[in-house]
Amino acid sequence: MRGTRRESTVPSSVVAHLIDGQQRLSQSGKTFASVEPATGETIAEVALGEAGDVDAAATAAARAYHDGRWYHLAPAERAARLRRVADLITDQTEQIALTESRDSGAPIGKTRGDVAAAAAAFTYFAQLPEHVAGRTYATDPGYLLYSRREPYGVVGAIAPWNFPFLLAAWKAAPALAVGNSVVLKMAEQTPLSTALLGSICAEAGIPDGVLNIVHGDGATGAALVRHPLVDKITFTGSTPVGRSILRESAEQIKSVHLELGGKSPSIVFADADLDQAVDGSLFTSFFNSGQVCTSSSRILVQAGIADEFRRAFVARAEQLVVGDPLDEATQLGPLVSKAQQDRVGGYLRAGRDAGAEVLTGGADPDPQRAGFFVTPTVFTSVDETMSIAREEIFGPVATIMTFDDEDEAVRLANDTEYGLAATVWTTELARAIRVSERLQAGIIWTNCPNHGQWNVPYEGHKLSGLGEDKGLECINTFTHLKTHHVNFGGHRYNWA
């Protein structure tokens, strides 16, 4: 077993906010506990941000934006500092990964991968400063019409707990790249690795006040959304919270970008490579203990191969290693919190009570076991009206339903209020294209669930989101348009 040095990652004092380049405790002096999901024990006390702390961070960010200490740097210089962030992240991979495994419960192999992906995010988005561009427009003689894209100013970024360090980078890197200042608020369940990102950005030369980090809970996030100096909100999290953010932002007509929940289908046709489909569906159902918004845990299997698929899927699910996230052999760690464990346990009971058949797992979490573990669970005999088939569970729970033909597969797949992602398993190219064009989702995978690259945009449809992530397209997410009309031909206004 490697990476079990728990004491080496425990902060020696209260984890503070980063505001205007300074480590600051909350104005109230309040703190909250960061709890290790694998043990249920407190591993750190963290400053609890309230409205006054959010105001200090937003004021610092606005000042840093308007005095041009970051936005007015040459694009090549901004790019160089972002690449330096990437290098420092890579240098500190093990410390960040260990911290995150303890704080989130994710297996150490997964958190190492997330740290590498976060470094890659800063490397990729470092090119954005030199890709921000406008246009010129056809017009009458003697006039010049052109547009340019400008940063919003202050971006309030609210990131979730399932990929803490990675999503902090995912939010901050593109917003910074195009010249914004950022106030970042991480979920209260997983604040520790984000604090390390703040220190890294300072060391890399991101000026004071350009990146600020305020720790706290939902009230902290609400204060950030409401703050009048925050010009843009980017949020990843649940659809109910996304709705709340839209309502709060409406008063100020504030621009909002949302990446929300999902209930993504994995559609397995009879001509699919069965081993590939089983392995891929298992991965997308149970990776990170099912705590993934794009998780395709709603598995739809063509009737002719359903029995064979179920047997193979259950056999492999039962081989998954559930245990200590710092053990290199672990594939599934605990859920992030006791509240999340209780929530998933409620869905297990709801599935059994509704008459779904449990093929493996399905028991309520063991109250005598330390940590917030849930055994991987597979339900069949599932009706599409059941809550386990309709609602985002965010735990290691998969449902298997059957269909007869393409039309029924598409109907079942689209029978959800979400539209984040979908996976199609088939060896027939024409079918893959036909079905993908009918699916109501922003991301379609054929035989490759959860595949992604930083240069490819990412967007949810329906209740799964609003606006574009990743790729050059995210320039439009973090900038807005200004048009210029220039009269250089001496034209004068004539009232006649």
- Enumerate the active-site residues: 259
Asked if 179 and 110 touch (Cβ cutoff 8 Å), the reply is no
| DSSP string for 147-214 | EEEEE-SEEEEEE-SSSHHHHHHHHHHHHHHTT-EEEEEE-TT--HHHHHHHHHHHHTTPPTTTEEE-
Q: Which residues contact 244 (CB under 8 A, 6 or more apart)?
A: 222
**How is residue 416 written in tokens?**
């959800």
Which residues on adjacent β-strands are paired with residue 268? 301, 425
- Using the CB atoms, write b or e for 428-451: b if 16+ within 10 Å: eeebbeebbeebebbbebbbebbe
The Cα–Cα gap between 464 and 237 comes to 10
Torsion 241-243-244-249 (CA) sign: positive
Asked if 193 and 165 touch (Cβ cutoff 8 Å), the reply is yes
The Cα–Cα gap between 262 and 359 comes to 24
Residue 410: exposure state from Cβ atoms within 10 A (0-12, 13-18, ≥19):
buried
Name which of 475, 490, 114 is nearest 291 in CA terms.
114
